[in-house]
A and B are shown apart, each in its own frame.
Chain A
Amino acid sequence: MKRTLATTTAILLACSAHAADLGATDEPIKLAINEWTGQHVTTHVAGEMLKAAGYQVEYVTAGMMNQFQAIADGDISATLEIWSSNVSDEYAKKIEEGSIVEIGDLGLDAKEGLAYPAHVAELCPGLPAWEALKDCAGVFATAETLPMGRLVDYPADWGTPGAERMAGFGLPFKAVPAGSEGALIAEMRASTEKKSPLFLVFWQPHWAMSAYDVQFVDVPVGNDDCFNDASWGPNPSATMDCGFSPTRIFKAAWSGMEDKWPAAHEILSNYQLAVEDAQPMMGAIDVDGGSVEDVVAAWMSENEGKWKPVVEAATQ
């Protein structure tokens, strides 16, 4: 809450603030392109804004987990979509070192939770209420998990929120780590094609949410009481009997950016993108097959009101 407030004030300040110097416009600002479409959209919108301000922009492909060394070294200037639920320890180290600085939230309202493709509701009547899963475990059972049901959890390097929830709610499910995002999507595809049961941990904004009509299971909203106090929530003897803590999506930049490209730093710091804007663009790319450049360009020209003020505040 505090953070949102801070960002809002930042925007207000930026609008009234004096224009910053452009800085080194002859050197390209390098923005990280990670492995997923949503991030491509986020980054290309930001890149176009920087171009509109008079900068050169270069998009550099970089593994999400491996980019931080590059940002700390200044080889990449900024990365614009870091999920707090999925960030390596290295990031924390670099922040502590001071070689990377956080530059505010992106404003994307993310949601993570226990989920299922819509057709599964027929196989386990009573969904989306979580209580229905108590009696359905057998439906989700597989060779590896028998007699328990199978929950496809995040890949092991993203943590094990699914396993914690199963223990918290006391549900007879065994969490199986997915290994990779591709594995999660393949599971969803196969389940939708075969109309077979599937229960997994998923998140939005993501193009697959609409492509496979993914629904979230209803659970009590996550909060600190639930995470720390066993007596809170439907299961009096365990913590974690609630939804996920809200995921923060934020931006980070090389610490030298503010001196080298002051205005660009200000633009990226104030840059915001809402789910309502991002998710249709993701769909236009992954479901309808458009190119990132075209889709972003179309959105930019239709929604000047949403990004122009940020650029103008920093440059004029």
Chain B
Amino acid sequence: MTEATAPERSALPLTPGLTAALLTLLVGALCLLLQPYAPWLIAYPAGWTLPATEWVGGGLETILNTIKPTVRWFSWAISFPMSWANWVLAGAPWALVIGTITAIGWHLGGWRMALLGLVGFGFVLLSGYWRESMNTLSLVVVSVPLAMLLGGAIGLLANEVPRLRNPLQVALDAMQTVPTFAYLTPLLLLFGFGPVVGLVASAIYAAPPMARNVMLGLERVEPEVKEAGIMSGATRLQQLMLVEIPAAGRQIMVGVNQCLMAALSMVIIAAVIGGFDDIGWEVLLTMRKAQFGQALLAGLVIVTFAIVIDRMSARLALERERFDPRVSWALFGVGVATAAVLALTGTATPPDGIFAGAADAVDQTLGTFTAANGTALDAIKNGAMFYGLLPLRIGLDEAVLPFTWGFQWTQSMSLWLFAAGALAAMAATLTGRAMTGVHVLIGVGILETGVANLPWPFVLVAAAALAWSSVGPRFAVVTVLLLGTILVSGLWERALLSLYLSGSAVAACALVGGALGLLAAVSKPAWAILRPLCDMLQTIPLFVFLIPVLMFFQIGEFSAFLAICAYAIVPMIRYTREGLVTTPPEMLEAATASGATRAQIMWDVRLPYAAPTVLLGLNQTILYAFAMLVIAALIGTTGLGQSIYLALGQADVGLGVSAGAAMAILAFIADRLVQGFAEDRRRVLGLS
């Protein structure tokens, strides 16, 4: 992409990027021409696949059964802290728990944090889910230290043994991108039934942010500080423990914060297995009855936990200031006294929820709204399906039919479309933008065929070309090999469907999220509204939103598309705003001094400067979209997400792990591609 910016206006230099694009175009055209004679170009023949899912299943089962006794011992050992935590939290009177949280809040952040703790946990109490919430909290209390230990160990290992750095990075990527549902079955087999499975799953998911922050923190320790340690004759261990880790303290605390949030977001996943009667289980039960109001209420309890924990642990990480412990003790004392009074008067049991009426009202409103706007909602859905999603999935040649667009797509229309594409490409080439021209042609080809019908040789070559131009030749080889494993394992068709669904969601998120981010960057009130919305969308269990989406738009791809967008749009908004807001003031001043208008500053200074950050946001959006695919399967999508869900139900270890791996492969490739482009942009801007 570097080539696309500067030198290209001269004649036609055959840069590697352009060569790769032309090659892709050639393969695409060949496939298009040959497909009537060689149907195997489109549908990868079943005979060429290997029974990989069975092998994976068989192999894993043997391994799992071998290590099972050891692991069961671990499960037994970990069940003690679990039951202690549970005994303390669920057994303690609610007034005592609330008093303690308020006291901690005061110590960390004065009256603001104290109030946050009081109001937050007060809401939990009044929601009527106190017992379930404490069960959830005791899961988090045990899983977070576990995740911190695991993440810290990985981070230290990567820091001490540089050779292990790359493999460990890949392992961390896998821990974050393989959907948890995919490995729940093997975990269940290994650890036995119960909360331990949820605990381990959330530790696996929450460890990577910790590890990454430990690595980053240790890396950034000033060389002078390190040298001081060496000069005073410390051993490596002393140096690490006494000098480097304390110096990296702040970064590590950021890791702790991220780790807590990740663990909390896994609560609902752990509930699918059950065994714990926690708040996630409540969400699942209400979801099963399609009770939106009640599901929302239970979901908000999790959001409340997330906000309290996030804000308090962020204070722990960022602020050194601590408040008077005497006030904390006083607050704690009030908690103890209240608990004692309640116990003596015999009213210590948590009260029933007071929000049942409100929840019912929300539910009613949803029903009335659906009834009143049925036609409009149907029109929106049909419009999006006919003119957006369907053509993208199966191509114009199959999607344009008399009852969708009002006419039938014909062969000659295809020819006209290609002719128009070729003309545009010619025009672009003649004005010196050969790259754009080739991209237009490839785009037209994809639109005509549809993502789900793309010939597999074309996808392989296109992915390799992208990998080559954004990262390098080695990554191109890796890309082809990884995609090849999906191909031979027989999951290709499902992978393309997943690619189409998450791809279209990412595209929509990039456009809408980018625009919202821009808006938030220029207008303070807009950000004031968007920020809490973003917070909520990221922490509420997404199952909750499936209900209204389903009521409005029924089972199907459009609902799944919306559900994915609701989650994946958040990083796009956040990072776009972040990038635009952080333009260095001297650059802005220089632009203003040279007489640029506001619009010019936006387009020519702030946007280019923000590009790397925006690309990072896009990267996160892609990862989020893949993560949501599994949950969207509850709406009834096809593709890898459904396979993972199916495997969970059928306890099919092989299918679950293979489909999970396929999904991780797609996410991994997309992640590295975007990071490659971001790196390029940063180099162009002289930022790295």
The CA of A90 and the CA of B370, in the complex, are separated in Å by 40
Q: Is the beta-carbon distance between B274 and A186 smaller than 8 angstroms?
A: no
Q: Is the beta-carbon distance between A61 and B276 smaller than 8 angstroms?
A: yes
Contact of B289 among A60, A61, A68, A182 (CB under 8 A): A182
- Contact partners of A303 in chain B: CB under 8 A: none
Contact of B385 among A37, A73, A144 (CB under 8 A): A144
- Contact partners of A133 in chain B: CB under 8 A: none
Q: A36-B288, A181-B288, A183-B546 are in contact. Are A75 and B193 (CB under 8 A)?
A: yes
Q: Is the beta-carbon distance between A61 and B288 smaller than 8 angstroms?
A: no
Q: Is the beta-carbon distance between A187 and B550 smaller than 8 angstroms?
A: yes
The CA of A70 and the CA of B272, in the complex, are separated in Å by 14
Q: A66-B188, A144-B556 are in contact. Are A183 and B635 (CB under 8 A)?
A: yes
Q: Is the beta-carbon distance between B547 and A186 smaller than 8 angstroms?
A: yes
The CA of A36 and the CA of B274, in the complex, are separated in Å by 13
Q: DSSP majority for the B interface?
A: helix
- Contact partners of B382 in chain A: CB under 8 A: 143
Interface residue? A176 (CB, 8 A): yes
Interface residue? B51 (CB, 8 A): no
Q: Is the beta-carbon distance between B651 and A65 smaller than 8 angstroms?
A: yes
Interface residue? A26 (CB, 8 A): no
Q: Is the beta-carbon distance between A35 and B285 smaller than 8 angstroms?
A: yes
The residue among B192, B635, B650, B651 with the most chain A CB atoms within 10 A of its own CB is B651
The 8 A CB mask of A72-96 against B (1 = contact, 0 = none) is 0101100000000000111000000
Q: Is the beta-carbon distance between A156 and B289 smaller than 8 angstroms?
A: no
- Contact partners of B634 in chain A: CB under 8 A: 179-180, 182-183
A residues 173-194 touching B (CB-CB < 8 Å): 176-183, 185-190, 193-194
Interface residue? B637 (CB, 8 A): yes
Residue of A nearest to B135 (CB): A61
Contact of B558 among A143, A178, A189, A196 (CB under 8 A): A143
Q: Is the beta-carbon distance between A189 and B290 smaller than 8 angstroms?
A: yes
The CA of A190 and the CA of B559, in the complex, are separated in Å by 14
- Contact partners of A262 in chain B: CB under 8 A: none
Q: Is the beta-carbon distance between B370 and A190 smaller than 8 angstroms?
A: yes
The residue among A75, A76, A143, A158 with the most chain B CB atoms within 10 A of its own CB is A143
- Contact partners of B193 in chain A: CB under 8 A: 62, 66-67, 69-70, 73, 75-76
Contact of A189 among B272, B551, B637 (CB under 8 A): B551
- Contact partners of A181 in chain B: CB under 8 A: 288
Total contacts A-B at CB 8 Å: 159
Q: Is the beta-carbon distance between B275 and A183 smaller than 8 angstroms?
A: no
- Contact partners of A155 in chain B: CB under 8 A: 636
The CA of A182 and the CA of B184, in the complex, are separated in Å by 21
Q: Is the beta-carbon distance between B290 and A182 smaller than 8 angstroms?
A: yes
The CA of A185 and the CA of B634, in the complex, are separated in Å by 12
The CA of A310 and the CA of B64, in the complex, are separated in Å by 42
Interface residue? A286 (CB, 8 A): yes
The 8 A CB mask of A43-72 against B (1 = contact, 0 = none) is 000000000000000001111011111100
Residue of A nearest to B184 (CB): A66
- Contact partners of B371 in chain A: CB under 8 A: 193-195
The CA of A304 and the CA of B194, in the complex, are separated in Å by 34
The 8 A CB mask of B538-561 against A (1 = contact, 0 = none) is 000001001100111011111000
Q: A179-B637, A186-B550 are in contact. Are A61 and B290 (CB under 8 A)?
A: no
Q: Is the beta-carbon distance between B192 and A70 smaller than 8 angstroms?
A: yes
The CA of A63 and the CA of B268, in the complex, are separated in Å by 13
Q: Is the beta-carbon distance between B554 and A66 smaller than 8 angstroms?
A: no
How far apart are B362's CB and chain A's nearest CB, in angstroms?
A: 14
The CA of A144 and the CA of B382, in the complex, are separated in Å by 9
Contact of A156 among B274, B386, B547, B645 (CB under 8 A): B645
B residues 606-635 touching A (CB-CB < 8 Å): 633-635
- Contact partners of A196 in chain B: CB under 8 A: 374, 378
Interface residue? B447 (CB, 8 A): no
Interface residue? A231 (CB, 8 A): no
Interface residue? A147 (CB, 8 A): yes
The CA of A93 and the CA of B192, in the complex, are separated in Å by 16
The CA of A227 and the CA of B192, in the complex, are separated in Å by 39
Interface residue? A278 (CB, 8 A): no
The CA of A194 and the CA of B651, in the complex, are separated in Å by 38
The CA of A180 and the CA of B634, in the complex, are separated in Å by 5
Q: Is the beta-carbon distance between A61 and B550 smaller than 8 angstroms?
A: no
The CA of A286 and the CA of B385, in the complex, are separated in Å by 35
Interface residue? B367 (CB, 8 A): yes
Q: Is the beta-carbon distance between B554 and A142 smaller than 8 angstroms?
A: yes
Contact of A193 among B185, B274, B367 (CB under 8 A): B367
Q: Is the beta-carbon distance between A189 and B274 smaller than 8 angstroms?
A: no
The CA of A55 and the CA of B116, in the complex, are separated in Å by 45
Contact of B404 among A146, A156, A179, A286 (CB under 8 A): A146
Interface residue? A157 (CB, 8 A): yes
Contact of A60 among B274, B390, B550 (CB under 8 A): B274
Q: Is the beta-carbon distance between A186 and B636 smaller than 8 angstroms?
A: no
- Contact partners of A90 in chain B: CB under 8 A: 650-651
Contact of B367 among A142, A183, A189 (CB under 8 A): A189
Interface residue? B189 (CB, 8 A): yes
How far apart are A294's CB and chain B's nearest CB, in angstroms?
A: 13
- Contact partners of A176 in chain B: CB under 8 A: 555-556, 636
The CA of A60 and the CA of B424, in the complex, are separated in Å by 65
Contact of A190 among B189, B289, B551, B633 (CB under 8 A): B551
The CA of A241 and the CA of B408, in the complex, are separated in Å by 34
Interface residue? B90 (CB, 8 A): no
Interface residue? A127 (CB, 8 A): no
The CA of A25 and the CA of B90, in the complex, are separated in Å by 26
Interface residue? A152 (CB, 8 A): yes
How far apart are B666's CB and chain A's nearest CB, in angstroms?
A: 21
How far apart are B292's CB and chain A's nearest CB, in angstroms?
A: 9
The CA of A62 and the CA of B276, in the complex, are separated in Å by 8
Interface residue? B154 (CB, 8 A): no
Q: Is the beta-carbon distance between A61 and B642 smaller than 8 angstroms?
A: no
Q: Is the beta-carbon distance between A35 and B642 smaller than 8 angstroms?
A: no
- Contact partners of A158 in chain B: CB under 8 A: 649
Q: Is the beta-carbon distance between B288 and A63 smaller than 8 angstroms?
A: no
Q: Is the beta-carbon distance between B645 and A157 smaller than 8 angstroms?
A: yes
Interface residue? B244 (CB, 8 A): no
Interface residue? B652 (CB, 8 A): yes
Q: Is the beta-carbon distance between B547 and A63 smaller than 8 angstroms?
A: no
Q: Is the beta-carbon distance between A62 and B385 smaller than 8 angstroms?
A: no
B residues 243-275 touching A (CB-CB < 8 Å): 272-275
Since A183-B635, A185-B289 are in contact, a sample of 17 more A-B pairs with Cβ atoms closer than 8 Å, ordered by chain A residue number, is A35-B285, A60-B274, A63-B273, A65-B648, A65-B649, A66-B274, A68-B651, A143-B404, A144-B385, A156-B642, A157-B646, A157-B648, A179-B634, A179-B642, A183-B550, A183-B634, A193-B370
Ranked 4 nearest A-B pairs via Cβ: A70-B193, A179-B636, A157-B649, A194-B374
Can you report 8 A-B residue pairs in the complex whose CB atoms are below 8 A from each other?
A: A62-B275, A69-B193, A147-B403, A179-B635, A182-B288, A185-B290, A186-B290, A189-B367
Q: Tell me the B residues contacting A by CB distance below 8 Å.
A: 184-185, 188-189, 192-194, 272-277, 281, 284-285, 287-290, 367-368, 370-371, 374, 378, 381-382, 385-386, 390, 401, 403-404, 543, 546-547, 550-552, 554-558, 633-638, 642, 645-646, 648-652
